Amino acid sequence: MPYEYQDKYFFLVGPPLLFPVYFNFMSFRYMFTRRSWEDLSWVTGFFIKLFVLYYPLLGFWGTVAYYFIVRVCESHWFTWVSQSNHVPMKVDYDHAEAWLPLQSKATCNVEHSLFNDWFTGHLNFQLEHHLFPTMPRHNYIKAQPYVKALCKRNNLPYPEKPLGLAFKDVVRALRSAAELWKKESKAKCTKSS
């Protein structure tokens, strides 16, 4: 696969395969290998319900197509939202840092707005999410001033950027990784020649 072009093709290949193919495969594999028959019965019930509701309207292939189209859209949303908070950050090897500095350097918030809160499911408060994973997401905005003050008091960055810039940074990070791969690949080829 031409990794040096991953910033151009990733979103045509990665997200469409993530939820509709990979997650489905891994979920069923998990249920069968762990003999989780209760989970399998719930999932089977979902697919039965899906076909009972949509088969009369769309037919068999229409229902299958509908399911996969929804999963591809969901997968694109999930990929953009989750990667905008993580991929652009410069993450190094674990240096046994305390939890706050580690999260402050590895995650990035997206600016608060009604749209951003709704679109990201309040996961635009990524630092707060990592510090308080069990807190209801709609309360992250209440924790934000305290986390900002804590970061300031400890001389830690509180990374935050607009949604559009966060999305651009995902593509930049993929491009940077592609250039690194190309450079290393060239060096390997030159070395073996």
> What is residue 36's predicted lDDT score, i.e. its pLDDT?
93
pTM (global) more than 0.85: no
Residue among 121, 118, 126 at smallest CA distance from 161: 126
Q: How would residue 136 be classed by pLDDT, with cut points 50, 70 and 90?
A: very high
Domain ranges, ordered by start, for the chain: 3-86, 99-192
Given a cut of 90, whether residue 149 has pLDDT beyond it is yes
pLDDT tens per residue across span 41-62: 999 999 999 999 999 999 999 9
Q: How would residue 139 be classed by pLDDT, with cut points 50, 70 and 90?
A: very high
Residue among 117, 141, 113 at smallest CA distance from 127: 141
Alpha-carbon span 126 to 107, nearest angstrom: 6
Alpha-carbon span 160 to 177, nearest angstrom: 22
CB 124 within 8 Å of CB 163: yes
> What is residue 68's predicted lDDT score, i.e. its pLDDT?
92
